[in-house]
Structure 1
């Protein structure tokens, strides 16, 4: 991809937009970085020398050779529409990075579990002796480091449906889809469109590539016939001819009729049935590229997870505090609730992304002793919970009060769980900021 002296418009000055602008400038492009926020609201508008900053909106697409759109920017904004009508190429940061990638890519998507599975898969490859880049939607933009890795290395990338909307040639060596449940319907419009966006992860694969699918998820399993690659399944409920599955409480890997044991289900360091699925997916991806079962087993026994996903914070007066701020939709929060046998004091609420809280409310009735609601969707979640038969509900005026209401409601032996089932954007910039504040408030309780 020749970029020297090309005029490029980067839309969105978040992490990926800033990284893309710097990368493009290093390649000799003439870059304009645009954001809808005024300059005063941006944390930084400096993408390096030679980048023009355009704040408070977006310039027209006319005159640009290429548009690079950040994942958070809907593709209905005026310059994207104009560019497509004029035949100007529109891509995202993921596609830009791919065009300069030299290392094979394992790409992982799904509604829930992407970050944990990506980090776990990366750790398996590191233990196998491969120089590994873990990047993408997990926090480090792929374009920021892709040029440093060569053919003998490996890239493990978390990719979102928003990123997949703007790919063109992106072709991972291994594509993984963990699960598909309702999420981001405010952007995609329907489950059919959301599923189609996820399926783009394997759209450019060839016969010698691998697609890894969840056999237990009907929406995901049904995609097998659409993949041009060799399909491998993983399952915690069924025996399979190939892929990873559970037999007699052990994870096993199947290939050509032979079965190789990995480790016991109870040996996995990550808690919960959903993390067993994540472990099976990671094992399948690594196994497909030749990583020995012994290395996979050693990693599964020791990998303890990532920040903001069932992250243990502290135990105070017999009460455990767990940060699951990354539970940004009802299905993720349901999985978090299912990971514990103890009574739960749940903090939930934030900005609804078009989800229905009915199934979440039924799980609350089953698992939660006290529900604390906060944020834009507090009343909506409370109403769904009441309709499901939940009576112990507390209303918080802000996030700090939510944490303290949860503390006051908790008894020894309880788990205080932050698993909001909602996005953080009504009160925070992202789920990380929400989770960090939760941890800070809990640690303040320890010192006081």
Structure 2
């Protein structure tokens, strides 16, 4: 992709948009950036971008046609229904995202991971697995570091491990990972995609351009992901914690096994894993399948699986106060993720949940609350929806909180020794925070302050 002197419009001035703008400038493109925020709202960021040579079009939409622009790069957080993107497609101006742009400048084989839940943990685990095996490894993408900022530093001998979201995959055209992983698909982001069919279709773009020699790793226990195998049967590796597989990774007699053309290998005992919960066992199985597909030795796969401690904001242990364990699962931004967090514990739970709903139902989540939770503390703009769903299930031990300070205080007052206080919101953080990391950091801070009293 030759970008020199190309007129490129970047839509969205978030982390991805900023990284794309800087990358395009290095490639000697003429860069315009548009954002719905005004210059005053963007403040110092607007001044910084302008000083770098980016033309800013803020607070309104520019006219997009072939006379003005050669390419539009849209940030993943920006819906494809915004005016610049709609105009570009109507006028025949190519529209891609940062993931597609990065792909054109990537020399390394790519392992790409998507799914509704578990992406960050699995991406981090796989990245660590390749590093432990001696590879120079870039771990980037939806996990927080834009790929476009780093991919050119890595060679054909290295590995890129990328977490990719449905938003990023929507704007791919040629993106082709050596190994594509789809962990699971459950209702999420329906406020953006509209239907489960459209959401699943976006996820499936991760393997749309794969060819002979590439691999697709799928969850055999998830009916939606299992069905994808019909489209590319000759290069699928399944993983399952419920079935013994002819080819793939699975559990047999308490051990993680990998079976394939190179034989049947024992990796390690399930009991040796440090990350808790059945969902994390699935993540480990997916990682083992990737390692096998990429030719790693069983011992190298095992070394990482038994030493990996997890990631921040995903069932992250914070402290034990008065016999109560406090756990940060701020990354649980949808009901299915929060349900998996609840299933990870066999003791009574004081649950803090709520935030901004993404257009999904809380009914199944409420059933799991009735089964696993002793006290529910709701917070955030749609916390009341979780309360209503729980009450419909006959669960009434509920305490609404105005903010996180009150929520943590209530949890501290209600929890009993031997129980777990779990932040697993089942919602995004966007009603009160910039992102789930900020929410999790505040929870950690509030818990640690309790320990000083």
- TM-score of the two chains, using structure 2 as the length reference: 0.97
Alpha-carbon shift at residue 42 of structure 1 (Å)? 2.8
CA distance in 1, matches of 2:245, 2:177: 24
Alpha-carbon shift at residue 228 of structure 1 (Å)? 7.2
CA distance in 2, matches of 1:17, 1:256: 43
SS in 1 for 2:333: coil
Confirm or deny that 1:35 pairs with 2:35. Answer: yes
Confirm or deny that 1:233 pairs with 2:234. Answer: no
Residue number in structure 1 paired with 2:3: 3
> In structure 2, do the counterparts of structure 1 residues 228 and 22 end up closer, same or farther at CA, with 3 Å as the change threshold?
farther
SS in 2 for 1:246: strand
CA distance in 2, matches of 1:14, 1:206: 33
CA distance in 2, matches of 1:408, 1:58: 51
CA distance in 2, matches of 1:40, 1:293: 55
CA distance in 1, matches of 2:234, 2:72: 30
CA distance in 1, matches of 2:316, 2:58: 37
Residue number in structure 1 paired with 2:433: 428
Q: How does 1:368-447 map to 2 (within 5 A)?
A: 368-447=373-452
CA distance in 2, matches of 1:387, 1:360: 12
Residue number in structure 2 paired with 1:72: 77
Alpha-carbon shift at residue 102 of structure 1 (Å)? 0.3
What whole-Å deviation, never above 9, does each CA across 1:344-373 have from its counterpart, x for those lacking one? 100000011011001100100111010000
> In structure 2, do the counterparts of structure 1 residues 229 and 153 end up closer, same or farther at CA, with 3 Å as the change threshold?
farther
Residue number in structure 2 paired with 1:22: 22
Residue number in structure 2 paired with 1:263: 268
CA distance in 2, matches of 1:322, 1:187: 30
CA distance in 2, matches of 1:12, 1:314: 38
Partner of residue 192 from structure 2, selected from 187, 191, 204: 187
Alpha-carbon shift at residue 257 of structure 1 (Å)? 7.9
SS in 2 for 1:334: helix
CA distance in 1, matches of 2:251, 2:180: 21
SS in 1 for 2:34: strand
Confirm or deny that 1:150 pairs with 2:150. Answer: no
> In structure 2, do the counterparts of structure 1 residues 121 and 257 end up closer, same or farther at CA, with 3 Å as the change threshold?
closer
Confirm or deny that 1:52 pairs with 2:55. Answer: yes
CA distance in 1, matches of 2:350, 2:162: 34
What whole-Å deviation, never above 9, does each CA across 1:217-271 have from its counterpart, x for those lacking one? 0000000012376111000110111111100110001013831000001111110
Residue number in structure 2 paired with 1:99: 104
CA distance in 1, matches of 2:39, 2:222: 44
SS in 2 for 1:302: coil
> In structure 2, do the counterparts of structure 1 residues 229 and 307 end up closer, same or farther at CA, with 3 Å as the change threshold?
farther
CA distance in 1, matches of 2:291, 2:20: 29
Aligned length: 448
What whole-Å deviation, never above 9, does each CA across 1:384-430 have from its counterpart, x for those lacking one? 00111111000101122111111111111111100000011111111
CA distance in 1, matches of 2:328, 2:381: 20
Q: How does 1:84-95 map to 2 (within 5 A)?
A: 84-95=89-100
> In structure 2, do the counterparts of structure 1 residues 339 and 401 end up closer, same or farther at CA, with 3 Å as the change threshold?
same
CA distance in 2, matches of 1:383, 1:306: 32
Structure 2 residues without counterparts, runs of 5 or longer: none
CA distance in 2, matches of 1:120, 1:37: 37
Confirm or deny that 1:304 pairs with 2:309. Answer: yes
Q: How does 1:234-249 map to 2 (within 5 A)?
A: 234-249=239-254
Alpha-carbon shift at residue 53 of structure 1 (Å)? 2.1
Confirm or deny that 1:121 pairs with 2:123. Answer: no
Q: How does 1:348-363 map to 2 (within 5 A)?
A: 348-363=353-368
CA distance in 1, matches of 2:234, 2:207: 8
CA distance in 2, matches of 1:143, 1:156: 13
> In structure 2, do the counterparts of structure 1 residues 115 and 14 end up closer, same or farther at CA, with 3 Å as the change threshold?
same
SS in 2 for 1:313: strand
CA distance in 1, matches of 2:10, 2:359: 28
Alpha-carbon shift at residue 24 of structure 1 (Å)? 0.4
Residue number in structure 1 paired with 2:370: 365
